[in-house]
Chain A
Amino acid sequence: MKERTPKNIFVQGAISSAFIADSIQKHSTKTDIGGHSIFLGQVRADEIEGKKVVAIEYTAYEEMALQKMHEIRETVFAEYPLTCMHVYHSLGKVAAGEICLFVFTSSAHRKAATEACSVLVERIKAELPVWGAEILEDETHQWKVNQ
């Protein structure tokens, strides 16, 4: 297998729908692909003790997260016959309703893409040193807990 160097997955602020559309468009030249699977994480306006979440502010141990993501990428590539894998995670403030995580896998046949996408999302949430502070409407915040 080809050696892949750690890629930067972090983007400042929300991931725009234009960026996502563009990313899909770029694959039209890769005609060995038969299926894509996309996961989009969106900031939910939860209510915490009567106060609405208006945004999540993400911070990360960036160096370690990129190294960990590199390992995850390698193992998932080794396990599934994927053509492509793209992961983007927000840093900084992302408002409720905006996209904070974009995972995009492609393969010749659908099963590899859908299964790898799901495995990636679970591993990203469990293993990357990233933290989200939920900013409430009164400008206080509380720290997000992953379920």
Chain B
Amino acid sequence: MKILFFGQLVEMIGAKELLIEDMTDIDTLKAFLHQQFPLLAQSKYIIAVDQEMISDNRKLENHNIVALMPPFSGG
């Protein structure tokens, strides 16, 4: 599945997007990313799945697009 990063997270990860397959749910994906990118674990971000913001764990399929978004600072 496609994982999108925004704002300061792009610099932290070193990419705007990553392709990661077979993550069963959000918690699994987060654990994987936090292990790969320890700084991410200390960062504040919210998650959107297919552009819908979520706060709880949920199942993922390979066709989902997951976005990790730091606090918004538009305007």
Interface positions of A (Cβ within 8 A of B): 41, 58-61, 63-65, 67, 89, 100-101, 121, 124-133, 143-146
Contact = CB atoms under 8 A, between A and B. Distances in A.
Contacts, number: 67
B75 A131 contact: no
B72 A127 contact: yes
Interface size class of B (residues with CB under 8 A): 10 to 19
Interface of B: 4, 6-8, 10, 48, 51, 67, 69-75
Contacts of B4: 61
Contacts of A59: 6-7, 10
Q: Which of B48, B67, B70, B74 has the most CB of A within 10 A?
A: B74
A58 B51 CA distance: 19
B74 A143 contact: no
